[in-house]
Structure formats: C-alpha cells, structure tokens
Amino acid sequence: MRIVIAGGGWSGCAAALQVAKMGAEAVLLERTDMLLGTGLVGGIMRNNGRYTATEELIALGGGEIFQAIDANYLHSEIHFPGHDHAFLYNVATMEPIIYKLLEKRGITLKLTSRLTDVKMKGTRIESIVFKEKGNEEPQPLPADVFVDTTGTAGPAANCNKYGNGCAMCVLRCHSFGGRISLAAKAGVKERVAKKNDQTGAFSGSCKLFKESLDPDLVKTLDEKGVAVVPIPKTHQLSGKLAIKACQQYALPAFENNLVLLDTGHAKLMTPYFPLAVLRLIPGFENARFEDPYAGGMGNSIRYMGMPPREDTLKVEGVDNLFCAGEKAGLLVGHTEAICTGTLAAYNAVKLAMGDTLLVLPKELVIGDAIRHVRRQMQTPQGLGLKYTFSGSVLFDRMKEKQLYTTDKNKVCDRVFKTGLNEIFS
C-alpha cells in the first residue's frame, strides 16, 4: 500500500511516521526545502491542555514524535500570562531531528516538490501530479490513499487581500510557490474562517533576532525562558489581539506588555509590532525581526481553506482522502496538528486495508476536540472562533468536562478505559 501525504508541517510529519509504523509505504511531499512549516518558528509545547493531549496521544501509542521533541527543549515548565507548564523547543535544531527520524523510518521525502494537479476517477483520487524545483517536467504519483496536510496559510495573494501584504514569513511563497490545497484540487469546496470583517486570521507571533536585544533582556530569556516587558501606554496598540489565529493569547497582558519566549530566537507574542515604535521601548532599541522579516507591518494569513470532513478525518466527497492539521479545521497549534496527523494516517491505512475506520471517543480530549470543532464549523459563529488545547474556548471546554489534567496516570487510566491504549503502535 502507498499513502501519499501532501504537506510537510507537523501534521504531515506525524502522518508519515504513523503510516510507516503500520507497514505501508509513506511518501511525503513538501513544497519547500525544510519540514515542519510553521513549526520552524513555533516552539511552544505542553502548555495548558496541550499537556493532557500530549500524554493522551502517548498513551494511545503515538508518542514517538513527542519523544524527539522532548529531547530538544530549551526550557521546561515555564509560566507566562495565561499559560502554565509550557515547554519550549529549539526552533533552530528541531527540523533536522525530525528529518532524520522520518528518514530512519524509511519514509520517502520529496522536498521542493509541489503539488500541481490531481487525477480523479469519479470521486476517487487515482494520482497526484507534482513538479520538483529545477525540473518542470510534471511527475505523476499514484497511491491508494492520500492525506492533505497542506495547511491553510497564504499564499501571498491572500496576505495582500486580507492582511497587510506579504510579510516575508517562513512559508516563503515567493521562493517555492504558494500553498496549493489537495482537497480543493480534488473538487472539494472549502470553508474560510471569518470573524466580523476579518477573513482568515493573522499568525499569532513574531520572531526577534535575540542578539539584537539588550544583553540584560537576553540574559533573562536564557535563564528563565520568558520575559515580560511593560509597554508604555503611549505605545500600546489596541485591537490587534482580535485578529490573531492564536486566541489563547488574546488577553490584556499581551496588549499591555511585550511577552517574549526563548525558542532560540526571541518569540514575540503579537501578530506584528511597528519596528519604529518597538525601538522606542527600553531594551529593544536595536531590535530586528527574524520571522516574518516585515513583522513590523503584518504576518501571514491563515485558515483560508478547510474541507468539510468526518470525525475519522476523512474528507467529505472524496473516497480516499483524509485531512489533518489546519486542514482539519480551526485547530491551532503543533500538538493539535500532530494529533490529527496521527489519526488521519491511521485511518488512511485502515481504509486501504478495507478495515473499519477509527473515531476517537468523546471521553478523550483529542476525540472530543475533533468532534466539537467539526460541529462548530457548521455555524457562522463557529467559523469566527479558533480552537486550541492551550486556551480560549476549547481549553474552557476541557475544564468544564473535567478532562484537563497533568497527572499522567489519570490520562493513561482514561485511555485504558476506552480500550484504545497503544492502538497507534
């Protein structure tokens, strides 16, 4: 059996790993020259309810990718406004670790390979067509089942139309071509997030070159992993938080302060901040943005293409297509992407085998999130919200349902009661 995964972000990498673990041939296409996508500049794990979801996936047997992440933390158990027990990985060294992990598993990695077309037979995908950078000859790639993890951010035209223009982010659309949705190419009508007048949502943070900051500020970041610097009232920018994809950071503390996290760079928890104003704040006189390079004016626009799907993560209307990561809905974060990527890949192999597909039960935080987000996205109000284990409405739901815990034994017991322990292994 061959399973093709389109998109090499966290969800695509988790999907490819799960396919390989189940003994099928995994082929992973990524349009750029690096894996992880926004994970190249993200770095936050296990904060708030993500701790529960992480331990749940480990108990389900999907923990191999988390083991690789756990070995690469710069800071553990840190606290910043609205967030407890966060772990920060090194964004500079994470991608090679994951690349080697997938390579060791025998996964075929096709980097700088861009999806261009889909060949259909009725409601079934027979093959995709892709082009490698430097080779304009279209290459067909047939498979039994496909997984769409192409994301929802960009391309530059959307950032121009719905944002503040291309901010030159890590997605590098101008260099490698903009995002192309596998589901859309297969004829699926996708949903677009919309809240009031904002279509899509701005990526939630920027990266500052750490060495451009005041040495005392850098020392604080190196030692504590977090720094909170008050913004003078004359320099505060009101209204920006509502446009963020990461609504777990839409708190007054992030409007009144510059919240920095150490992920190798200094992660500035705001969608953008005018550079001229930033340099007026003590400690930031020489500040320079690393991602996006034009972080003084804007950021990438996300949640521009999400196919309707089932709770198995099978895309509606196409017989052999699954989705994960942001393609699976308004789910925000690396942990969320890894969880959906693992489930989508598991069910992709099961479909190829002719077996029953798995729906994770609502007694598990992952299962409840997948089910709840699907239902919410069928309403106009739900399309205006963002869902993450680490905060906002989904974390509130976890606490209301008494699913949030940092007790690993409780998580293991919960998974054991469902009869699904180690199912992904």
| 423: in domain | no
Helical packing angle, 94-104 and 10-21, nearest 10°: 20
Which distant-in-sequence residues (6+ apart) come within 8 Å of 135 by Cβ?
none
Same domain, residue pair 69 and 181 = yes
Indicate the pLDDT class of residue 188, thresholds 50, 70 and 90: very high
- The predicted structure's pLDDT at residue 252: 82
pLDDT in tens, 276-334: 999 999 999 999 999 999 999 999 999 999 999 999 999 999 999 999 999 999 999 99
Residue where a domain stops, chosen among 239, 264, 291: 291
* pLDDT tens per residue across span 346-393: 999 999 999 999 999 999 999 999 999 999 999 999 999 999 999 989
pLDDT band of residue 243 (cuts 50, 70, 90) is: low
Q: Is residue 66 part of a domain?
A: yes
Is residue 186 in some structural domain?
A: yes
Q: Is 240 a residue whose pLDDT tops 80?
A: no
- 8 Å CB contact between 334 and 184: no
- Which residue type does 392 have? S
Which of 227, 256, 291 is the endpoint of a domain? 291
| 424 domain-assigned | no
pTM: 0.96
> Residues 5-41: pLDDT tens digits?
999 999 999 999 999 999 999 999 999 999 999 999 9
| Residue 331 bridge partners (DSSP) | 387
Copy the structure tokens of residue 56. 């749940």
Mean pLDDT, rounded, for 335-342: 98
Same domain, 340 and 235: no
* Predicted confidence (pLDDT) at residue 413 exceeds the cutoff of 80: yes
Q: What is the pLDDT of residue 234?
A: 84
Claim to verify: residue 357 and residue 238 sit in the same structural domain: no
- In the chain, the number of structural domains is 2
For residue 425, being part of any structural domain is answered with no
User: Is 284 in the same domain as 308?
Assistant: no
The gap from C-alpha 200 to its chain's centroid, in whole angstroms, comes to 15
Q: Are residues 185 and 250 in the same domain?
A: no
Residues 257 and 123 both lie in one domain: no
CATH number of the domain residue 81 falls in = 3.50.50.60
Do 267 and 360 share a structural domain? no
The verdict on 252 and 393 lying in the same domain is: no
**pLDDT reported for residue 233:** 87
User: What does the pLDDT look like over 136-177, one tens digit per residue?
Assistant: 899 999 999 999 999 999 899 999 999 999 999 999 999 999
Round the average pLDDT of the chain to a whole number and report it. Answer: 95
Rounded distance, CA 43 to CA 361, Å?
A: 29
Residues 232 and 320 occupy one common structural domain: no
**Residue 173 covered by a domain:** yes
Name the one residue in this structure whose structure tokens are 């729906």: 359
User: 269 with 344, same domain?
Assistant: no
Is 296 within the bounds of a domain? no
- Is residue 48 a contact partner of residue 111, using CB atoms and an 8 Å limit? no
Nearest to 196 by CA among 166, 162, 165: 162
Give the single-character DSSP code of 16.
H
Q: Given pLDDT bands bounded at 50, 70 and 90, which one contains residue 275?
A: very high
- Pair (124, 248) in one structural domain: no
CA 342, 72, 36, 136: dihedral to nearest 10 degrees?
A: -120
pLDDT of residue 253: 87
Structural domain harbouring 399: 2-193+301-418
**Residue that is last in its domain, among 241, 265, 291:** 291
Structure confidence at residue 245 (pLDDT): 59
State mean pLDDT over 238-253.
Answer: 68
Residues 45 and 143 in one domain: yes
Best CA proximity match to 11, nearest among 62, 55, 52: 62
Domain annotation covers residue 245: yes
Sheet holding 206-208: strands in order across? 226-230, 257-262, 266-268, 206-208, 289-291
User: Is 218 strand, coil or helix?
Assistant: helix
